[in-house]
Amino acid sequence: MPPKAKAKTTAETTIESTITTLRQNAEAQFAHELAELSQADTRQKPPNWQLSPWAVATYLLGGKLENGFEISPKYIGSRRLMEIAIATLATDRALLLYGVPGTAKSWVSEHLTAAVTGDSTLLIQGTAGTSEEAIRYGWNYALLLAAGPSMAAVVPSPMMNGMNDGKIVRIEELTRIPADVQDTLITVLSEKTLPIPEIGTAVQAQKGFNVIATANNRDKGVNELSSALKRRFNTVILPVPDSADEEVAIVHKRVASMGKALELPIEVPAL
């Protein structure tokens, strides 16, 4: 009889999946940098943060660690803006990254979340069809009809999971979401509570929970944020590159990163 095939370990399966993934999450693509930062990071960390604010800033803006390890820059631009964004997340204020299309709002959001919590997958994609259930919770209607409202019948949203686990939730294109749905965030952001009135309970956010939203005012179909919702966010406006050299540096870095991920032949781009 032929020898029995050896079962693959979880680590081997994860590595194979990572190799064949077209686009990795930030925490997987830059896992080696995050690991080096974690080892070198001796500064105080906010509750449920994987890295200190200093290490998060180093991960985003790049730098050299004491052991000589080079951290590649993820954002090329104002250090002050990134420091404000990180400081916001260390408080109970939600963060709104605002700017015209192409200013790296989603990119910064993903890398901030990867560095702070090690999980950038708690994502709510804002569209004109986004409903309250996508932000709050849904129902397993088979269980709901069979046994009535209960926590077992609740289908958690990324927001509910983030509150339970004390992680950061990302909301892409907040201004694309209808205004009445946007306002379901007000209680979550101000009270750190997600009521479930059908069963007379609520989900309380754990330490480390926060929200990063992105928005722009150039696309058609934009819904303005209410003043009540705006007050729950600290807004950081991301500008376009200051110079042609800065823009070339950004394009050069992104082309090199994409070429590596797609396994394209190595060739110096014609700048």
pLDDT tens for 126-139 read 999 999 999 999 99
Is 235 a domain residue? yes
| pLDDT for the residue 179 | 92
Q: Give 229-263 pLDDT, tens digit per residue.
A: 999 999 999 987 665 665 666 566 555 555 555 55
pLDDT tier at 15, thresholds 50, 70, 90 = very low
Is 84 a domain residue? yes
Is 66 a domain residue? yes
| pLDDT for the residue 202 | 95
- Spatial separation of the C-alpha atoms in residues 51 and 154, rounded to whole Å: 33
Q: Which domain holds residue 180?
A: 20-261
HEC per residue, the chain: CCCCCCCCCHHHHHHHHHHHCCCCCHHHHCHHHHHHHHHHCCCCCCCCCCCCHHHHHHHHHCEECCCCCEECCCCCCCHHHHHHHHHHHCCCCEEEEECCCCCCHHHHHHHHHHHHHCCCCCEEECCCCCCHHHHCEEECHHHHHHHCCCHHHEEECHHHHHHHHCCEEEEECHHHCCHHHHCCHHHHHHHCEEEEHHHCEEEECCCCCEEEEEECCCCCCCCCCCHHHHCCEEEEECCCCCCHHHHHHHHHHHHHHHHHHCCCCCCCCCC
Is 88 a domain residue? yes
Is 13 a domain residue? no
- Spatial separation of the C-alpha atoms in residues 58 and 115, rounded to whole Å: 10
Count how many domains the chain has. 1
Is 218 a domain residue? yes
| pLDDT for the residue 240 | 74
Is 4 a domain residue? no
Joined together, the tokens standing for residue 136 give 């709050």
Residue with tokens 């830059």: 30
Is 12 a domain residue? no
CATH number (domain holding residue 82):
3.40.50.300
Question: Closest Cα partner for 168 from 251, 82, 50, 66?
Answer: 50
pLDDT tier at 11, thresholds 50, 70, 90 = very low
The pLDDT of 219-235, averaged and rounded, is: 86
How many Cα atoms occupy the beta-carbon half-sphere of 239 within 13 Å? 10
Predicted model pTM? 0.83
